[in-house]
Structure 1
């Protein structure tokens, strides 16, 4: 199950994403966390030291090799250079599993606080004035396009704040999206914007209230988000300590707030994976990007990469090339590309 945490900056979405990922790990469930926010704080929220995110290898640093690996023997993709962030899988593509060993994970995934984590990387000085942050999350979109996760397997993504994720088709890659909402006018304003955009795409959206102090806060949220309000987290001494750098054992989290994590997990598990819609939106956004900019950049019609006979889902398990054992790169990839 692919799960996104979104919300206004400062709403606590990174904290909730980290708590949920740690909750899954504590229950022994396969989980991969991805920090796709421009502010790379998920590693610290998971319990890592302040420098851990900058010490990790960002996905974008190996984007070319990632493309080559995912391309596999897909005859519709002539070279990795012709792959863009929206390129969908087809017959012959390599598909990813949450808990497997593969060369992408070997280089770009690291255990932080017991949770396997990948990061997009920070916005650097070299990016200023010349790059859009969405170019960094392109690697995440490619990974999710090729991620064949099943029930009981989880990809937890801390998204960039606000409605910025609508600048790409990334928002359609999730089985369930949790919008973290404070009981404030500005925070519910982000909810309205996000819900308005998401409605036309069938996004399964739930609201988690955060920093709730009393019944009046709950009523405020109910008034403004209605039935989308799933549950809420009260003001937490545990979270305050974590925000100051002391991430304690999860069993120290207040019982009521720990129960919220169980409610979130139950909601995810009760969400049906709609692989037909997943495939349809992948094709649609690839067409849009091809027409808008990618065809001109590649010099070819990239819509021909769409395999109309291929649909993501359990039935596709026989289609991909098996990943090499032990995380060894496939022969066509320059092995030096995968060195840490």
Structure 2
């Protein structure tokens, strides 16, 4: 199952992404965490020390190699240059199993405090004025398009801030999106933006309150978010201590309970591979018509394989 954490900048989505990933890892669940935020801080939130380098290469730096592997011998995809971030898999494409021994997982994962982590890479000086951060997220979108995850397996993605996540079809690649909201008007306004966009495409979201300090904060969230409020995290002295490099003891019981609530909500989702593929095709055709046909000089609608059925059934030797 796949979970995205989104929200206003500074709402704490990276912190909650890390807490949830660690919660899953400590339970023994297979998972991959992905830092898809323009500010690459998930490794530190997971506990990577200032003197511990993250040495796995960012996904965005090896996008060509990733494309070559994923397109396999799919005759509809003629080259890596013709493969864009929304290109859906078809017969002949290579599909992925979570944490498999393949050129996508093996070189790009580094374990941080028991959590396998992949990163998209920072937005650096060479990108200024010539690229947007969503170009780096293309590798994540291709990864999720080609991943066949099973029951009890998890992908946790720390996404870009605010409704900016809707600038790509990536937002349709998740089983549940956790929108982290502080008890403030600004944070609630981001929730409303995201809710309206999500409803348009039938994307399930659940609001997670954060930095709740008392009953007034909780009542504020309930008033403005209503039934979308799944649970809330109270101010955590344990998290603050970890951020200061002096973590000790355990996360507070009420916050541990909130993590269990997140997992229960995610586990309750039913994987709909048909809808997943339909969304992939729809956003690919949108991108092809808007810019990609011109950019590649190809009719990218021809990449859609109408005979392909995504999901575990597609993991046959001929397409694996």
Place the TM-score, normalised by the shorter chain, in its bin: over 0.9
> Aligned to 2:225, what secondary structure does the other structure show?
helix
CA distance in 1, matches of 2:233, 2:300: 45
Deviates more, 1:140-149 or 1:71-80: 71-80
> Aligned to 2:288, what secondary structure does the other structure show?
helix
Equivalent residue for 1:70? 70
CA distance in 2, matches of 1:29, 1:108: 20
Paired residues for 1:213-292 under 5 Å: 213-248=213-248, 252-292=250-290
CA distance in 2, matches of 1:85, 1:51: 34
Q: State the number of aligned residues.
A: 320
Equivalent residue for 2:26? 26
Asked if the contact 2:210/2:234 (under 8 Å) is kept, the reply is yes
> Aligned to 1:130, what secondary structure does the other structure show?
coil
> Aligned to 2:104, what secondary structure does the other structure show?
helix
Asked if the contact 2:99/2:105 (under 8 Å) is kept, the reply is no
Asked if the contact 2:54/2:110 (under 8 Å) is kept, the reply is no
Equivalent residue for 1:317? 315
Asked if the contact 2:91/2:319 (under 8 Å) is kept, the reply is no
Asked if the contact 1:47/1:246 (under 8 Å) is kept, the reply is no
Equivalent residue for 1:206? 206
Shift of 1:246: 3.8
Matched, 1:166 2:166: yes
> Aligned to 1:163, what secondary structure does the other structure show?
helix
Distance change in 2, residues 1:50/1:321 (3 Å): farther
CA distance in 1, matches of 2:56, 2:74: 30
CA distance in 2, matches of 1:189, 1:176: 20
CA distance in 1, matches of 2:318, 2:98: 15
Asked if the contact 1:86/1:285 (under 8 Å) is kept, the reply is yes
Using structure 2 for the length normalisation, give the TM-score: 0.97
Equivalent residue for 1:303? 301
CA distance in 1, matches of 2:317, 2:197: 34
> Aligned to 2:202, what secondary structure does the other structure show?
coil
Using structure 1 for the length normalisation, give the TM-score: 0.91
CA distance in 1, matches of 2:9, 2:82: 35
Distance change in 2, residues 1:220/1:27 (3 Å): same
Shift of 1:275: 1.1
Equivalent residue for 2:15? 15
Equivalent residue for 1:137? 137
Shift of 1:321: 4.2
Distance change in 2, residues 1:149/1:47 (3 Å): same
Asked if the contact 2:55/2:110 (under 8 Å) is kept, the reply is no
CA distance in 2, matches of 1:111, 1:101: 15
Shift of 1:76: 1.0
Structure 1: runs of 5 or more not aligned = 323-340
Shift of 1:52: 5.5
Asked if the contact 2:99/2:106 (under 8 Å) is kept, the reply is no
Equivalent residue for 1:87? 87
Structure 2: runs of 5 or more not aligned = none
Paired residues for 1:37-116 under 5 Å: 37-50=37-50, 55-116=55-116
